[in-house]
Structure 1
């Protein structure tokens, strides 16, 4: 018998070859039975009187690669690209946009480490189909860092931002911010990450507000883009080394800006980062720091609720889980007397709607909800419909849509926020309506919902009536504010798709012709957005909305024309 560990009979081994100890003889290995070597052969071969022979095998093994070597290679490639980019910037060269590299690496995981394409913050559509602003390619070259304006200009921009946006959705405290501004503005730099990011967020929002009323918004769009890029350059520092209220404010502010882009993923990641940081600071708890003054506690409440609103809104928009569970918080609603009563009411109404949005996702679109029967979801939808109806009655959300559109005047800051609130309500209503049973005038077609509800029935009369009001607000989108297009696109899609699906099921409706006319501006908007290849490639949602609406519009027209040809008197 040849020894089990005798390798003398083996051929010469190469450099990368290793002898393998054969632990079973040929016969036992063939029979796949346990081999027990003895001095005269293994026990099995001795028992059956067969020749016991061990055949050693030499294998050629490649050097072992570390776990995750592909990911490490990708990181090395990205680092090389960033080093080259930083080298160009240090020499004063404008960064070169490598489109292929950007498409390959602009994933959620790479977002916080690479520059974000914010092309939709600038541009103006010249297409005759749609007179409103929409994204185009961003300026080809921008400085490595957007220079800050003079102190006088910066102060003017800050005052505009606080008198408009922050007045209705308070993210920053005006007194604290102005105190920091006068102390630090001349020495502002990225090393003070929290202040640097907050300052550039405020300047970016201010330029965006200016662009709404500007005859040519291009300059303000470019400046807004540059300032948000400044803020994004310190995201990693805010996540890792900062644990301050200003860091939460900065992350939430950047998320607000990036909501108005074709891709909601970067905004969702910033909201998640802001929420985790807020939880680490116990902003979600009312009695987390007994030593705080009431003024400081109120500031923390306002910041937390702003992040909470963003969290719930993006969750229902993207169909992904939210980060803050209502059972894991006990913070009170804002009640600071420094806010005007009407503005505080608007902020609290938005918080109330966010609470409903969270329950809609949790009870109708979460993984747990998908495991329930359609009947169970229908019961939950009825309860949520009642809850949303109660919220609407208490919020006094009626808007004079006709006067808003026909006036032709720019909307005031308060009216813009009311329009956004109204459209957010419509989106929430349609998401509930799709799960109501047929007896309650329920849900839309499966293709209308990105979450694919199981039921199939026309939308309810309330949903259709509210959708008619909402779709008219397409004409009220502020001229120059292309971010509003992307932020409200889901709400307009929900309203238009509900109306069109209702026509396919009820072509005899006396409002059929007028409903087809009402959705035309939104359909033209989708076609105009789709004309820009870069925009279309960035937004899978736009592709889906356009395909669904075109299909539904064709079906609705065919249904209405067929019915009108059979019963012409019904349309007289």
Structure 2
């Protein structure tokens, strides 16, 4: 037996030697594809197709138009439109970013020659990953911004395609790149005002993204408020003007109302940042691990409790941002063009801010999570406190759905489509509350809940036409609605918080977890699961480390002989093995 093992080891050693020789030969092959050291991030864009698989320039420019129509400020602001389009026309945008723009724009139907639909999105995203070189050894100034812009666009595509875990990891990587690049502090004064503001907006876009993707358990924030020293975004008019404007406040100044700075002075995009900051607090309070700090052991109704502090912040925001004024009135008075049409780039952050505001209240006082939190407190909760909390939560859940319906009726296609998948999460959270109140003893409340739940499902089904992840939310919500009677006892303030079993609690927690909502309920088998066409980011990044053409290889087993592998297998690889995508990386 020992001799047999030795002979097999000798055969393996010979195979490895021949494999190494083959790799060395391939490395010297002049026809080898682009690799980590030779890849040019700034190849020019030509009027016709190029060897880099880029479509003609007119298609790329059409994609840029679609991107700014449907994606800019919804909720992320990554580019100065005029400058970015000029760079595109001159071929000064890295290929990875060009393909990411194409992939983002391909989601929306148009009359342009741009290919659209899931296959086009996947194809462009794969090409973008091929061209992207991650800066393991530091960042060059000329490509630092483009790298993180590209990663965020691709992370959004992955997240909405059901790969929330891998997308969260990628955003975390990009945040480290941002920190290394120095975007957490004010840009250098020698940059133009447009470049300075673009850098601020890229930073705050990642800040918002971090807050949204952290809406769930075991998703700690990567960007802490106290470490964010860059000034808040300016107004859209100032950004467009490319002229110097008065410096804006910092997040510290606004959160602490220091130095006379008021939230009323913020731009709509800065308002989104301010409310996203409070959303992070609400998420940690409701879904985060509940520690034993001095505030944690206090009664929630105490004026110094975490709940009271967060609620005070929301009251201040409600006052400063004039959230009591109907959205349509603000749009008509302040955010319309000269011809009376809606300025979508100004209105989109207003809608997003209002939606986050209602979401904060829904999470902060969610009937089940809020009542279970009382298990940490040994005393008896005042009945009036519980009733007020439930009424507040139900009111904001209803207001959130009404806001989404109001937006859908706006005479602006790019706004009425409610073009971001996070709105699906917001609607789902509100819908879980409506599902509970289906069983209210008050017929009027039960009927309102039924109407809001029906409207929520319609909104989600509309979003699912653009965003695959939203279809998973529809499935979960229908299941929750069918089985919602088990939560009915929580509508009575005297019900003990511990009556629910662990399975019931898990169902509610997952319905409030953005990452879980954005992934399929289960993957029991490869045949039963409709796999994503988007490449696995971790697997593909590992491939980028090898000096071979960017492709997905056949992984030979020890028993395979080197001679049995076709020589073409090193340059033309087939699709990945199913288990790789099952990892959801």
TM-score of the aligned structures, taking structure 2 as reference length: 0.55
User: Residues 38-71 of structure 1, C-alpha deviation per residue, up to 9 Å, x if partnerless?
Assistant: xxxxxxxxxxxxxxxxxxxxxxxxx99xxxxxxx
Alignment partner, residue 9 of structure 1: none
Alignment partner, residue 385 of structure 1: 311
Please list, as runs of the form range in 1=range in 2, the aligned pairs for 1:206-355 lying within 5 A after superposition: 206-208=105-107, 210-211=108-109, 219-235=116-132, 237=134, 242-243=139-140, 244-286=144-186, 289=188, 292=191, 294-317=193-216, 320-335=219-234, 337-339=238-240, 345-355=267-277
Cα 1:403–1:276 shift into 2, 3 Å: closer
Distance 2:162 2:132 in 1: 21
Alignment partner, residue 108 of structure 1: none
Q: Which consecutive unaligned segments of at least 5 residues does structure 2 have?
A: 10-18, 20-25, 27-31, 34-50, 246-263, 332-340, 493-585
Distance 1:524 1:205 in 2: 24
C-alpha displacement of 1:219: 3.7
C-alpha displacement of 1:387: 0.5
C-alpha displacement of 1:495: 1.1
Cα 1:313–1:400 shift into 2, 3 Å: same
Alignment partner, residue 481 of structure 2: 549
Cα 1:480–1:266 shift into 2, 3 Å: farther
8 Å Cα contact 1:350/1:421 also seen in 2: yes
User: Residues 254-294 of structure 1, C-alpha deviation per residue, up to 9 Å, x if partnerless?
Assistant: 2334443444223322221221100011211237x565555
Distance 1:410 1:552 in 2: 40
Query: Is the aligned partner of 1:157 residue 2:63?
Result: yes
8 Å Cα contact 1:446/1:454 also seen in 2: no
Cα 1:403–1:282 shift into 2, 3 Å: closer
Distance 2:102 2:172 in 1: 23
C-alpha displacement of 1:170: 2.4
C-alpha displacement of 1:251: 1.3
Cα 1:198–1:264 shift into 2, 3 Å: same
Cα 1:229–1:507 shift into 2, 3 Å: farther
Alignment partner, residue 361 of structure 1: 283
Cα 1:538–1:514 shift into 2, 3 Å: closer
Query: Is the aligned partner of 1:496 residue 2:422?
Result: no
Q: Which consecutive unaligned segments of at least 5 residues does structure 1 have?
A: 1-13, 17-62, 65-75, 77-82, 84-88, 91-144, 186-193, 435-443, 561-572
C-alpha displacement of 1:519: 1.0
Cα 1:493–1:330 shift into 2, 3 Å: same
8 Å Cα contact 2:60/2:98 also seen in 1: no
C-alpha displacement of 1:245: 1.2
User: Residues 397-453 of structure 1, C-alpha deviation per residue, up to 9 Å, x if partnerless?
Assistant: 45558999xxxx99956555544433332222211113xxxxxxxxx114999x998
8 Å Cα contact 1:301/1:331 also seen in 2: yes
Distance 1:370 1:543 in 2: 36
Distance 2:448 2:471 in 1: 33
User: Residues 466-522 of structure 1, C-alpha deviation per residue, up to 9 Å, x if partnerless?
Assistant: 211222456566799999584322211221222332454x42263322321221243
Please list, as runs of the form range in 1=range in 2, the aligned pairs for 1:411-490 lying within 5 A after superposition: 415-434=347-366, 444-446=367-369, 459-472=389-402, 484=419, 486-490=421-425
8 Å Cα contact 1:167/1:343 also seen in 2: no
The counterpart of 1:510, out of the listed 415, 440, 444, is 444
Cα 1:261–1:382 shift into 2, 3 Å: farther
Cα 1:271–1:520 shift into 2, 3 Å: same
C-alpha displacement of 1:352: 0.7
Structure index of larger Rg: 1
Please list, as runs of the form range in 1=range in 2, the aligned pairs for 1:71-86 lying within 5 A after superposition: none
Partner of 2:267: helix, strand, or coil? helix
8 Å Cα contact 2:194/2:239 also seen in 1: no
Q: Which has the higher contact order (CA 8 A, sep 6+)?
A: 2
Cα 1:552–1:370 shift into 2, 3 Å: farther
